[in-house]
Amino acid sequence: MRIRRCAFRSRFLAFGLMTLMAFLLAGCVSVKDSGTDVSSPPPVMTSVMFDANYRNAEIYVDGEFRGTTPVSLHLPAGTHKIEVRLGGFETWERELVVVAGNDTRVAAVLKTE
């Protein structure tokens, strides 16, 4: 009878240790693919060509200066606030919806102040 109890205890103890190790290891594992987190894919970038009726107009996307016309930028899909500025002209403002995979052209017509 005594031998049976020891065998049962050792099996129970081994199962308990294996379960504990599995829980501890599960907390240490993260899923990565080539150093990047696979749970958040990179945004799809789309080419947007900006031009204006006057060269060297400043392009602002979401309040950030991105270059002067004519210029091609890669923007993520979504809605963006576009501003085209040039000294002596009214600021040209629009809301641009960028659709993934659909290259877009924006042509601003600047008017004198």
Residue 30's pLDDT is: 46
Q: Per-residue pLDDT tens for 15-64?
A: 555 554 554 444 444 445 555 555 677 778 899 999 999 999 999 999 99
Q: What angle do CA 99, 105, 111 make, to 5 degrees?
A: 125
For residues 59 and 97, membership in a common domain is answered with: yes
Verify that 56 and 27 share a domain, yes or no: no
* Residue listed under structure tokens 């040039």: 86
Number of domains in the chain: 2
pLDDT average, residue stretch 59-86: 96
Same domain as 57, residue 30? no
Owning domain of residue 18? 2-37
pLDDT, position 95: 96
Across the range 75-104, mean pLDDT stands at: 95
At residue 54, what are phi and psi to the nearest 5 degrees?
-130, 135
pLDDT of residue 87: 96
Q: Report pTM.
A: 0.63
Residue 90 lies in a domain: yes
**CATH number, residue 85:** 2.60.40.1120
Residue 29 is assigned to a structural domain of this protein? yes
Pair 50, 21 in one domain: no
Q: How far, in Å, CA of 56 to CA of 38, rounded?
A: 40
